[in-house]
């Protein structure tokens, strides 16, 4: 009898231990850990590959650092407080140019040049009313940089030769009024321009800088034709990513003399090419990147394949992306990542296949504590296949879970596989996170992209709702605990969901969200006015589509909201109209609805912006906890 009891007790213990093992205990990670500002960023190599540069934060100051890779000597080139460097580039083996924020502004910058040892800093451009964009980072005649600027006319960018020795700008090509971009060849000569009439885009070409530009190709903006590089072995040939006369983008050769497609280097009816890498040293295209649910490479020459496959063998469990390289293409800055890790930066020496770690992007993230991002798909009522991603929390069964739906920003964007701090933060708090590439998202062909035009608040909304219903049908989602939250146009989708489907969503949130399509069109800056007709096609024309735009703008429908709302914004952000959110919140509060409104402060430094992010996500956490944890 005693032996039987002991066996029974032992069996009970085993069952209990097994049950405990099935429910994995998950640590609640501090919100600050997910959104830590990178200690080091923007790694670059000097043209000769002997010097490594990067930006770092130390004692609330941003430093531009140059490291001598042979001797290990480190030099602080610039030390800034309350101002940030937004971009920099090596223009020779001894000099760096960089954009520094103007005093008191995050959105305007001054252009400087400095020696690699930190001496001789000089201001090159200080015109408060104009912007300067670097077109080519190699010096011409040891003193000129090719830049574009709207100095002459705020609505258009001309091309200038900027003398880095005295700061003078000499006009090199005058914009006739409709040119939106300029391209150089591998030697830094200005050879191509892109124009738009708002709906149609044209490529303009010239054989050399002594002859005028000639229009060679015109396409509707729905068609993609991105020049990648000029061929150095074939005259008049450019490599381009194109979906001309096809639905998916391919890598092709274009004959600029005739404007016709000459050759296809990579194409597939089911795959969309998103990137293409050209090698100046080899004078060849190295590879294309195409995207299904993850990004993959297809190599176009054996030398490149050997180099990059050797690199991939050194980091077999992560995706990699080439960030920068030296002129000889022997030293590479590489960034790695997975869906569960923000990754790290490495220096790769191709000549001896050696990989040196430079820094972790966020050392506070433990990959084992993060959650897997899996692809999902479903079919809408009008028979359109929609793809997306589902991230499930650790330690619980995928049944009857609280869900946060995160529609992406837009127009013309998509969710991609990789580490997403927002998603991992929410999954760590026990929420299943659903990301949907609704119609109008890029990466699925031009028909799918165009299917989302003027569908805000309509079929785009239905795509998102269908994803939620799919989760409910799969028994993954608790139908009484579904929230929706988004940024920008994702915020528009989220708040429209609160209006259209208050029985499907328990609460909704918006961060810097578009709440008024009319206001959105008014925030388009002067230098993008040439694209206004394109925005009218995608978003709506305020003269012809006023009724639709009003229907799709949440600011006009506060009286229809029945669920708790979370709104956060920086009212000084020029990309949105802050008054829309303020007015919307006032109308909601008149109805005695539960509203969380957080005004982000204008933050002039990266560290201050980090603090603002922490406050915003802490508030979001409380909002979701109050509305989704109660049953």
C-alpha distances in angstroms, 301 versus 229, 235, 289, 322?
A: 16, 20, 14, 17
CA angle 33, 35, 36 (to 5 degrees): 70
User: In the CATH scheme, what is the code of domain 372-600?
Assistant: 3.40.50.1820
607 has pLDDT over 90: no
- The pLDDT of 96-118, averaged and rounded, is 79
Tell me the sheet residues that pair with 569: 599
Task: Please give the pLDDT value at position 198.
Answer: 84
Rounded percentage of the chain residues whose pLDDT exceeds 70? 91
Strands 250-255 and 237-242: antiparallel
Q: How confident is the model at residue 105 (pLDDT cuts 50, 70, 90)?
A: low
Task: Please give the pLDDT value at position 603.
Answer: 55
- The pLDDT of 609-622, averaged and rounded, is 85
State the Cα–Cα distance between residues 386 and 415, nearest whole angstrom.
12
Rounded percentage of the chain residues whose pLDDT exceeds 90? 76
Task: Please give the pLDDT value at position 10.
Answer: 46
Task: Please give the pLDDT value at position 127.
Answer: 60
C-alpha distances in angstroms, 534 versus 119, 383, 426?
A: 46, 27, 35
* Region of poorest pLDDT, from 525-539, 542-556, 614-628: 525-539
* Region of poorest pLDDT, from 134-138, 217-221, 502-506, 546-550: 134-138
State the Cα–Cα distance between residues 488 and 456, nearest whole angstrom.
13
Strands 237-242 and 373-379: unpaired
80 has pLDDT over 70: no
Task: Please give the pLDDT value at position 11.
Answer: 42
Task: Please give the pLDDT value at position 151.
Answer: 87
429 has pLDDT over 90: yes
* Top-confidence residue, 23 or 425: 425
503 has pLDDT over 70: yes
Task: Please give the pLDDT value at position 523.
Answer: 85
Instruction: Using the structure block, give the residue that is written with the tokens 């000549």.
Output: 351
H or E stretch including 198? Answer: none
Tell me the sheet residues that pair with 344: 360
Q: How confident is the model at residue 22 (pLDDT cuts 50, 70, 90)?
A: very low
Instruction: DSSP for 583-614, please give it.
Output: HHHHHHHHTT--EEEEE-----SHHHHHHHHH
112 has pLDDT over 80: yes
Average pLDDT, the chain: 90
Task: Please give the pLDDT value at position 414.
Answer: 96
Taking a C-beta distance cutoff of 8 angstroms, is the pair 164, 96 a contact?
Answer: no
Task: Please give the pLDDT value at position 21.
Answer: 42
Instruction: Name which of 329, 278, 342, 345 is nearest 43 in CA terms.
Output: 345
17 has pLDDT over 80: no
State the Cα–Cα distance between residues 372 and 380, nearest whole angstrom.
25
Output the furthest CA–CA distance in the chain (Å, rounded).
Answer: 104
State the Cα–Cα distance between residues 485 and 508, nearest whole angstrom.
6
Q: What is the DSSP letter of 369?
A: G
Buried b (16+ CB within 10 A) or exposed e, 129-165: ebbbbbbbbbbeeeebbbbbbbbeeeebbbbbbbebe
Instruction: Name which of 111, 118, 101 is nearest 145 in CA terms.
Output: 111
623 has pLDDT over 80: yes
Most confident of the ranges 131-135, 194-198, 309-313: 309-313
* Region of poorest pLDDT, from 35-39, 348-352, 359-363: 35-39
Q: How confident is the model at residue 601 (pLDDT cuts 50, 70, 90)?
A: low
C-alpha distances in angstroms, 589 versus 367, 417, 562, 571, 628?
A: 42, 38, 11, 19, 21
State the Cα–Cα distance between residues 337 and 361, nearest whole angstrom.
9
Task: Please give the pLDDT value at position 68.
Answer: 97
Task: Please give the pLDDT value at position 12.
Answer: 44
133 has pLDDT over 90: no
* Region of poorest pLDDT, from 68-82, 228-242, 432-446, 499-513: 68-82
Q: How confident is the model at residue 4 (pLDDT cuts 50, 70, 90)?
A: very low
How many other CB atoms sit within 10 Å of the CB of residue 526? 11
Taking a C-beta distance cutoff of 8 angstroms, is the pair 407, 490 a contact?
Answer: yes
15 has pLDDT over 90: no
Q: How confident is the model at residue 24 (pLDDT cuts 50, 70, 90)?
A: low
Q: How confident is the model at residue 578 (pLDDT cuts 50, 70, 90)?
A: confident
According to the 3-state scheme, what is the secondary structure of 299-361? ECCHHHHHHHHHHHHHCCCCEEEEEEECCCCCEEEEEEECCCCCCEEEEEECCCCEEEEEEEC
585 has pLDDT over 70: yes
Q: How confident is the model at residue 96 (pLDDT cuts 50, 70, 90)?
A: very high
Instruction: Name which of 547, 551, 545 is nearest 457 in CA terms.
Output: 551
């Amino acid at each position: 009898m005693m032996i039987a009891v002991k066996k029974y007790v032992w069996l009970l213990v085993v069952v209990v231990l097994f049950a405990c093992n099935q429910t994995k205990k998950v640590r609640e990670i501090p919100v600050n850990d997910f959104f830590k500002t990178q200690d080091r960023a923007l790694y670059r190599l000097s043209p000769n590959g002997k010097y490594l540069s990067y930006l770092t934060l130390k004692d609330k100051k941003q430093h531009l650092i140059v490291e001598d890779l042979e001797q290990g000597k480190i030099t602080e080139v610039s030390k800034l407080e309350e101002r940030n460097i937004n971009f920099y580039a090596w223009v020779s083996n001894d000099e760096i140019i960089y954009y520094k924020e103007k005093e008191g502004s995050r959105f305007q910058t001054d252009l400087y040049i400095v020696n690699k040892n930190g001496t001789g800093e000089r201001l090159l451009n200080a015109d408060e009313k104009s912007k300067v964009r670097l077109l080519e980072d190699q010096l011409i005649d040891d003193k000129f940089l090719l830049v574009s600027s709207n100095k002459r006319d705020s609505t258009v960018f001309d091309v200038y030769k900027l003398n880095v020795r005295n700061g003078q700008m000499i006009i090199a090509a005058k914009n006739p009024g409709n040119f939106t971009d300029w391209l150089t060849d591998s030697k830094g000569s200005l050879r191509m321009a892109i124009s738009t009439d708002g709906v149609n885009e044209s490529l303009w070409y010239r054989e050399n800088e002594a002859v005028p530009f000639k229009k060679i190709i015109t396409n509707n903006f729905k068609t993609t034709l991105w020049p990648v590089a000029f061929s150095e072995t074939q005259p008049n040939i450019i490599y381009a990513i194109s979906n001309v006369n096809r639905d998916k983008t391919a890598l092709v050769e274009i004959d600029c003399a005739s404007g016709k497609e000459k050759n296809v280097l990579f194409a597939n009816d089911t795959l969309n090419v998103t990137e293409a890498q050209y090698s100046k040293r080899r004078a060849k295209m190295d590879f294309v990147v195409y995207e299904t649910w993850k990004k993959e490479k297809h190599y176009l020459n054996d030398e490149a394949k050997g180099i990059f496959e050797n690199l991939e063998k050194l980091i077999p469990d992560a995706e990699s992306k080439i960030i920068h390289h030296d002129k000889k293409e022997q030293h590479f800055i590489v960034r790695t990542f997975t869906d569960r890790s923000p990754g790290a930066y490495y220096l790769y020496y191709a000549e001896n296949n050696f990989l040196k770690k430079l820094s972790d992007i966020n050392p506070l993230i433990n990959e084992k504590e993060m959650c897997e991002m899996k692809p999902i798909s479903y079919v809408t009522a009008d028979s359109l296949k929609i793809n997306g991603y589902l991230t499930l929390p650790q330690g619980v069964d995928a049944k009857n879970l609280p869900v946060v739906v995160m529609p992406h920003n837009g127009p013309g964007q998509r969710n991609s596989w990789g580490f997403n701090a927002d998603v991992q933060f929410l999954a760590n708090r026990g929420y299943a996170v659903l990301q949907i590439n609704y119609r109008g998202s890029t990466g699925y062909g031009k028909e799918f992209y165009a299917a989302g035009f003027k569908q805000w608040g309509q079929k785009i909304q239905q795509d998102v709702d269908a994803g939620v219903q799919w989760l409910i049908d799969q028994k993954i989602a608790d139908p009484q605990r579904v929230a929706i939250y988004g940024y920008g146009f994702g915020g528009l989708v989220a708040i429209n969901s609160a209006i259209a489907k208050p029985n499907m969503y328990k609460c909704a949130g918006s961060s810097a969200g578009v709440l008024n399509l009319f206001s959105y069109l008014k925030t388009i800056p002067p230098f993008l006015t040439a694209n206004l007709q394109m925005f009218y096609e995608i978003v709506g024309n305020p003269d012809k589509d006023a009724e639709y735009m009003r229907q799709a703008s949440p600011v006009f429908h506060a009286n229809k909201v029945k669920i708790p709302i979370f709104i956060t914004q920086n009212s000084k952000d020029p990309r949105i109209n802050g008054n829309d959110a303020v007015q919307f919140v006032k109308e909601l509060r008149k109805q005695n609805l539960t509203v969380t409104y957080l005004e982000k402060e204008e933050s002039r430094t990266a560290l201050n912006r980090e603090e603002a992010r922490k406050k915003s996500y802490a508030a979001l956490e409380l909002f979701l906890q109050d509305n989704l944890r109660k049953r």
